């Protein structure tokens, strides 16, 4: 699985003008299941994200994880993270998991993150979404598992 993790002061996702998920200070996480991924990949990635130390401690260093900082997460499915641009100008997405598998692993990731005690809201798998966020730092990290 692949995730693009952004430290945010706030984020929300809208579908057809209606807000379906939001978070305050915390993490905006775009997630993509890759072909060949399984439940273990989702669980491992969720554990790594939950423990990712990107929040400032008392000395201003990135030394605290999401729960240490009292934050929450907004998780949105994003199959375009699987884009392959090595052969021209049009990205290919054949490395992404098939939609049914992608949705199952996306949901598994969300539940695994919640299992670590992280308050999580989500977008809607496969929907046309508008994501709004204020990146804090900016801090943006790509993670694979």
As annotated, the active-site residues are: 78-80
91-113 burial string, b = 16+ CB within 10 Å, else e?
A: eeeeebbeeebbebbbebbbebb
CB 51 within 8 A of CB 118: no
CA trace torsion 114, 117, 119, 125 (10° rounding): -10
């Amino acid at each position: 699985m692949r995730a693009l993790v952004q430290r945010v002061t706030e984020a929300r996702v809208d579908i057809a003008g209606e807000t379906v998920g939001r978070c305050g200070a915390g993490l905006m996480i775009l997630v993509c299941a890759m072909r060949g991924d399984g439940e273990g990949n989702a669980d491992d990635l969720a554990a790594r994200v939950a423990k990712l130390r990107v929040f400032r401690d008392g000395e201003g260093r990135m030394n605290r994880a999401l729960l240490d900082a009292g934050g929450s997460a907004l998780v949105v499915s994003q199959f375009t993270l699987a884009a392959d641009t090595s052969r021209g100008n049009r990205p290919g997405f054949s490395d992404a998991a098939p939609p049914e598998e992608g949705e199952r692993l996306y949901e598994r990731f969300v539940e695994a993150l919640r299992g670590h005690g992280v308050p999580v809201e989500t977008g809607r798998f496969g929907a046309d979404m508008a994501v709004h966020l204020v990146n804090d730092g900016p801090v943006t990290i790509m993670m694979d598992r």
